[in-house]
Amino acid sequence: MKRDISTFTLEDIQKCVKEVSKKIIKYDRRLLELSCHEQATAHQIGCYLKKYYSDWNIDCEYDRKGTVQKELPDTGKTDRIRLDIIIHRREKKENLLCIETKKRSRPKKEFETAKKKLQDLTDRNGYYGYRFGLLMILKKKEPYIECEWFHNGNAV
């Protein structure tokens, strides 16, 4: 039975992400220690998330809203959006979680841009209305993964 998006709490999502983070550190730590490209780690995270969200679509580098290119409207920018990982139902407005991954070594400006994107994407009255957003900061040493959460357009 498909679980309705409104029944998911931040605590539900955080618990799953914590378990997935433990699996990444246990089985894929070398991706972090070697500072591999973020996409390599994002793919593994997506694979582990599927266990917890088997009736949802989990996509990496997804750039569509229905059949059109995903963009943030009314921002004055024509930048297209491509999210590292999303949990959603394709071609429906059922957007549970959007995840951006960033290596700690990236410039500060990239973190600011990612946070603004997650605020916009999780704005309940916004164009996409993701229920939750997550910035996963990937590090070469312990703690290997740090999480910053977003809900209703705000950091939480």
| Beta pairing partners, 19 | none
Do 142 and 126 meet the contact criterion of CB atoms below 8 Å apart? no
Do 152 and 128 meet the contact criterion of CB atoms below 8 Å apart? no
Q: Is cis: bond before 143, omega within 30 of 0?
A: yes
Domain spanning 5-155: CATH 3.40.1350: yes
Do 117 and 100 meet the contact criterion of CB atoms below 8 Å apart? yes
Alpha-carbon distances, residue 69 vs 65, 76, 117, 148 (angstroms): 6, 16, 16, 26
pLDDT in tens, the chain (156 residues): 688 999 999 999 999 999 999 999 999 999 999 999 999 999 999 999 999 999 999 999 877 777 777 776 655 555 678 899 999 999 888 999 999 999 999 999 999 999 999 999 999 988 889 999 999 999 999 999 999 999 999 999
Alpha-carbon distances, residue 125 vs 8, 46, 122, 131, 153 (angstroms): 18, 27, 9, 11, 9
Closest to 102 (Cα-Cα) out of 62, 26, 42, 60: 42
Do 147 and 136 meet the contact criterion of CB atoms below 8 Å apart? yes
Length of the chain: 156
Rounded Cα–Cα distance for residues 5 and 95 (Å): 8
Q: What is residue 22's predicted lDDT score, i.e. its pLDDT? A: 98
- The pTM assigned to this predicted structure is 0.91
Residue spans of the domains in the chain: they are 5-155
